[in-house]
Amino acid sequence: MVGFLREHGVEGASVLEIGGGVGAIQVELLEAGAARATNLELSPEYEEEAAALAREHGLEQRVERRLGDVVQAPALAGEADAVVMHRVVCCYPDYDALVGAAAERARRYLVLSFPRPRFVVRAGLGAMNLVARLLRWEYRTWVHPPGAIVAAAERRGLTLAAESSGRVWQVAALERAA
């Protein structure tokens, strides 16, 4: 994900990371030359560690953190040159709405990762969901169809530029025509 953005020019770019956790990807992109980063996160649990990470790298003035759901509250996030969603699509039940909201904010690139629809991946995530139900956690995970995920971004004017797959995760990088 970071490699794609470095190769395609992150220098001076604005970055929006949806579901960025503590902000490790933002740190990498800022250190690679991005001008600023905004993190939009659902959970407040990451805030203390995220602030420490930004401070540790001297980036606290270039990172803005916001709490909320971009689908439910679209005004939380403006446009950015690059939008990143790493292992986030699988945590949201309505992938079309989430990917659509992300794509609408991407001026140049949308790079996202999601689980591959392999049997072993589905079984593992199904087991996680079972444990979550037994423990009465709200958290669930989904394995959405990769082609439909990419199509959700393409319907918003982006074109698939690169993709790669590992054993569990698949990455799709999309770009907007200049």
153: pLDDT strictly greater than 80: yes
Taking a C-beta distance cutoff of 8 angstroms, is the pair 82, 108 a contact? Answer: yes
Distance in angstroms (rounded) separating the CA atoms of residues 50 and 164: 28
158-168 average pLDDT score? 96
Q: What angle do CA 106, 108, 109 make, to 5 degrees?
A: 70
pLDDT of residue 177: 86
pLDDT of residue 21: 94
Q: What is the CATH number of domain 2-116+145-176?
A: 3.40.50.150
Per residue in 30-83, pLDDT (tens digit) is: 999 999 999 999 999 999 999 999 999 999 999 999 999 999 999 999 999 999
Please report where in the chains the tokens 């446009």 appear, as a residue: 79
Q: What is the pLDDT of residue 178?
A: 73
Assess contact for 93 and 138: CB atoms under 8 A: no
pLDDT higher than 80, residue 90: yes
What is the per-residue pLDDT for 54? 96
**Where are the chain's structural domains?**
2-116+145-176
